């Protein structure tokens, strides 16, 4: 694959593609500066040339880079290489939550709470930066090998103060969008909380609360229908967790948990086994007027009634209407069944007609609110137009124009359009307003003078650069300079550079020496291997030793710190020195003086018993003997037949 051979930004070597998204492809890559594996998201070619999408892609990188949390995928860098925009992110090993649910089905309730709590941790950080994720779904939750999670993909995230709008085709997966997101309303933190509620519902039951043949039908259910309580799908879901999930999924955002921190506190309490005080959820949707004989999902007339969502009684799955409740006795009931007051047939017919009219009106009102009934025309794309050109073009197409707060932009010329709402080439109502954002041009960059960093410690140099709004890139290298001191810098002292620039510095690790490994007692093989690994040469000699086993190192020289490549002399034991064998002649009948002299010369210890100048009558040992062995000569006087008297040592 040609793409996989590229090096982006002169730094990131693409290895292999690991995924595709709606706007980008993701590659595993090697950061050649920091020598680490990273994930690189590259905008797809069809979007790279679109100024609106390019602005959104840059915004994603800038927004995500500012989010620091153990539960958010880290963003390290972003840039443009030729016509391609890219984002460099933390590379994760694991599986997405959607795949986990498909493999294992419903999760343990405590695990559901743990996952929900960690997602809250990520959302809390994003929301405090005024960033709404907008696409919380299991596919964007990565489960790591240790069981913790990280939230991914801020591809359609949008800061509250940003005027960039999402592509109409990228509204987030319909199964997880909030009712207000479906209606195209402004979104706040509670929209992400609704989506998280749907994710927890799916974790707890193994299925999504609303499904349909297409995205529109699912989105309509998000607005119109109440979810079947999770315990109806999975009896293992207890009431406390069910109340938490359904409170997150309130149709009216005001009835949900209002912050991720609030929800996280409740989930942590539940996971710890503490009691949680979460009331039965309430829903403000169309008023509960069951259509007799209609069957299926209840249709509700638009109204202001607030209804309590009740856990259905056994045998009444899906029952959610409030007081009187289906399957729950109330005043005026008999045998647990609600009795309608007696009415004439005329009253029943009138009520049915009114009900049908109300339903039709509700559908018409909702449809007109969702899809509109005005003439729809294509919005011209005026990105990079001058203010006057943009106004003339939009007014000629039948649109009103208003302006938002100008923003800085590195690529769009000052005074030109950097963003528009709705996006260009999308349909909008004729006569509606298009909001334009003009560019203030690139952010003016201040310049600073590079200081002299040599002889500073690493900490001093980094602190000095930080105080000047500069960054340090540190290299450690052996040098004659004191250990820990800067001995070289990449940018000359006194040179003027832009604020935010990176200055390379080299810090000494001390003189270029090698520590000789302690190899006494090593085998010759292990000793030479250790010296090879340390970058040292060696010379081997052999000697006898009574204390060191054969083949083991007796000694080495030199030791301590030496220059790389130094020759280390090793002495290896040959074991104890072998004893020399010597032939001892037989001297019986010969002169004792001659015998003693000759045997001493051969290295034997000689003892004479008898006259030293006599004749040898007996010899204690002869033949092949160990050199240094003791030999005793017995003698008698010459020309005497008897035994000699006295004893004389043959030793000098």
3-state helix/strand/coil string of 512-543? CCEECCCCCCCEHHHHHHHHHHCCCEEEEEEE
- In 3D space, the residue among 110, 306, 97, 325 whose CA is nearest the CA of residue 208 turns out to be 97
Q: Has residue 459 been placed in a domain?
A: yes
Domain CATH number, residue 72: 3.30.200.20
Domain CATH number, residue 554: 3.30.10.20
Distance of alpha carbon 542 from alpha carbon 551, whole angstroms: 9
Determine the 3-state secondary structure of 418 from DSSP.
Answer: strand
Report pLDDT for 598.
93
643 belongs to the catalytic site? no
Tell me: do 612 and 598 sit in the same domain: yes
> Whole domain around residue 540: which residue ranges?
514-573
Residue 25: phi and psi, rounded to 5, are -110, 150
Tell me: do 205 and 155 sit in the same domain: yes
Tell me: do 492 and 522 sit in the same domain: no
Distance of alpha carbon 382 from alpha carbon 393, whole angstroms: 8
Q: Has residue 351 been placed in a domain?
A: no
Tell me: do 536 and 623 sit in the same domain: no
What is the per-residue DSSP string for 247-288?
Answer: HHT-SSGGGS-SSHHHHHHHHHHHHTT-----PPPEE-SSB-
Domain CATH number, residue 190: 1.10.510.10
Q: Has residue 343 been placed in a domain?
A: no
Tell me: do 550 and 641 sit in the same domain: no
Q: Has residue 495 been placed in a domain?
A: yes
One of 135, 153, 192, 409 is an active-site residue; which one? 135
Q: Please report, to the nearest 10 degrees, the dihedral formed by the alpha carbons of residues 417, 423, 424, 428 taken in order.
A: -130
Distance of alpha carbon 205 from alpha carbon 235, whole angstroms: 9
Q: Is 539 annotated as a binding residue?
A: no
Report how many domains make up the chain. 6
Instruction: Give the length of the chain.
Output: 652
- In 3D space, the residue among 482, 566, 476, 477 whose CA is nearest the CA of residue 517 turns out to be 566
Residue at which a domain ends, from 216, 245, 279: 279
Rounded to an integer, what is the distance from CA 59 to the centroid of its chain? 21
Distance of alpha carbon 477 from alpha carbon 483, whole angstroms: 10
Q: Has residue 321 been placed in a domain?
A: no
- In 3D space, the residue among 33, 57, 36, 42 whose CA is nearest the CA of residue 6 turns out to be 42
Tell me: do 239 and 114 sit in the same domain: yes
Tokens linked to 432:
């509606």
- In 3D space, the residue among 457, 423, 455 whose CA is nearest the CA of residue 437 turns out to be 423
Tell me: do 174 and 208 sit in the same domain: yes
Residue 315: phi and psi, rounded to 5, are 85, 5
Tell me: do 118 and 62 sit in the same domain: no
Report pLDDT for 517.
94
111: how many CB neighbours lie within 10 A of its CB? 15
Tell me: do 37 and 82 sit in the same domain: yes
Residue 270: phi and psi, rounded to 5, are -65, -45
Q: Has residue 469 been placed in a domain?
A: yes
- In 3D space, the residue among 620, 644, 633 whose CA is nearest the CA of residue 594 turns out to be 633
Tell me: do 585 and 639 sit in the same domain: yes
Q: Has residue 307 been placed in a domain?
A: no
Instruction: Enumerate the β-bridge partners of residue 8.
Output: 12
- In 3D space, the residue among 134, 212, 199 whose CA is nearest the CA of residue 170 turns out to be 134
Mean pLDDT per 10-residue segment, the chain (652 residues) = 68 85 81 90 77 71 79 86 85 87 91 96 90 90 89 58 38 81 89 97 95 88 93 94 96 94 94 88 46 33 32 35 31 32 39 37 39 70 92 92 85 87 82 90 83 94 92 89 92 90 91 88 94 92 92 94 90 90 93 93 93 93 91 86 46 43
Tell me: do 129 and 244 sit in the same domain: yes
Q: Has residue 312 been placed in a domain?
A: no
Distance of alpha carbon 40 from alpha carbon 26, whole angstroms: 6
Helix axis angle, 189-205 relative to 97-104, nearest 10°? 20
Residue at which a domain ends, from 491, 508, 525: 508
Tell me: do 261 and 142 sit in the same domain: yes
């Amino acid at each position: 694959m040609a793409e996989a051979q590229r090096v982006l930004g002169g730094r990131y070597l693409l290895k292999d593609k690991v995924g595709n998204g709606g706007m980008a492809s993701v590659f595993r890559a090697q950061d050649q500066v920091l020598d680490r594996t990273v994930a690189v998201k590259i905008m797809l070619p069809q979007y790279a040339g679109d100024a609106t999408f390019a602005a959104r892609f840059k915004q994603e990188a800038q927004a995500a880079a500012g989010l620091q949390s153990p539960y958010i995928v880290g963003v390290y860098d972003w840039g443009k290489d030729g016509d391609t925009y890219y984002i460099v992110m933390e590379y994760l090993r694991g599986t997405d939550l959607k795949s986990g649910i498909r493999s294992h089905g419903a999760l343990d309730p405590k695990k559901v709470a743990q996952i929900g709590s960690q997602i809250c941790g990520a959302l809390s950080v994003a929301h405090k930066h005024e960033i709404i994720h907008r696409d919380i779904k299991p596919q964007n939750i990565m489960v790591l090998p240790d069981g913790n999670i990280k939230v991914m993909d801020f591809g359609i995230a949008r800061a509250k103060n940003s005027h960039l709008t999402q592509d109409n085709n990228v509204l987030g997966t319909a199964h997880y969008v909030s009712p207000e997101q479906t209606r195209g309303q402004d979104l706040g933190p509670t929209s992400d909380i609704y989506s998280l509620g749907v994710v927890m519902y799916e974790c707890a039951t193994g299925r999504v609360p609303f499904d349909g043949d297409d995205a529109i039908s699912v989105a309509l259910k998000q607005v119109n229908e109440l979810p079947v309580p999770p315990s109806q799908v999975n009896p293992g879901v207890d009431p406390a967790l069910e109340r938490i999930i359904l409170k997150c999924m309130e149709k009216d955002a005001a009835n949900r948990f209002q912050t991720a921190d609030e929800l996280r506190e409740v989930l942590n309490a539940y996971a710890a086994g503490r009691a949680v005080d979460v009331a039965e959820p309430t829903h403000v949707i169309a008023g509960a007027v069951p259509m007799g004989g209609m069957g299926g999902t209840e249709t509700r007339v638009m109204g202001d009634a607030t209804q309590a969502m009740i856990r259905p009684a056994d045998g009444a799955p899906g029952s959610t209407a409030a007081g009187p409740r289906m399957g729950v006795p109330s005043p005026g009931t008999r045998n647990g069944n609600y009795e309608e007051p007696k009415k004439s047939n005329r009253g029943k017919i009138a009520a049915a007609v009114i009900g049908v009219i109300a339903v039709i009106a509700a559908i018409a009102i909702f449809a007109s609110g969702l899809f509109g009934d005005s003439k729809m025309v294509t919005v011209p794309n005026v990105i990079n137009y001058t203010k006057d050109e943009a106004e003339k073009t939009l007014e000629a197409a039948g649109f009103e124009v208003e302006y938002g707060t100008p923003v800085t932009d590195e690529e769009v010329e000052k005074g030109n359009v950097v963003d528009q709402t709705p996006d260009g080439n999308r349909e909008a109502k004729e006569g509606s307003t298009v909001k334009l954002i003009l560019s203030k041009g690139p952010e003016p960059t201040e310049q600073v003078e590079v200081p002299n960093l040599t002889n500073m410690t690493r900490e001093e140099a980094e602190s000095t650069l930080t105080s000047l709004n500069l960054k340090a890139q540190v290299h450690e290298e052996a040098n004659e300079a004191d250990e820990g001191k800067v001995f070289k810098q990449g940018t000359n002292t006194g040179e003027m550079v832009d604020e935010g620039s990176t200055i390379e510095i080299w810090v000494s690790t001390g003189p270029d020496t090698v520590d000789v490994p302690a190899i006494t007692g090593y085998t010759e093989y292990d000793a030479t291997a250790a010296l090879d690994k340390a970058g040292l040469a060696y010379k081997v000699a052999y000697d006898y030793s009574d204390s060191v086993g054969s083949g083991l190192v007796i000694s080495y020289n030199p030791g301590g710190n030496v220059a790389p490549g130094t020759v280390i002399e090793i002495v290896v034991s040959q074991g104890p020195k072998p004893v020399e064998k010597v032939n001892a002649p037989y001297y019986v009948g010969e002169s004792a003086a001659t015998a003693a002299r000759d045997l001493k010369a051969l290295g034997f210890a000689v003892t004479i018993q008898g006259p030293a100048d006599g004749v040898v009558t007996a010899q204690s040992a002869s033949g092949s003997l160990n050199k240094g062995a003791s030999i005793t000569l017995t003698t008698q006087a010459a020309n005497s037949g008897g035994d000699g008297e006295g004893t004389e040592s043959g030793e000098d």
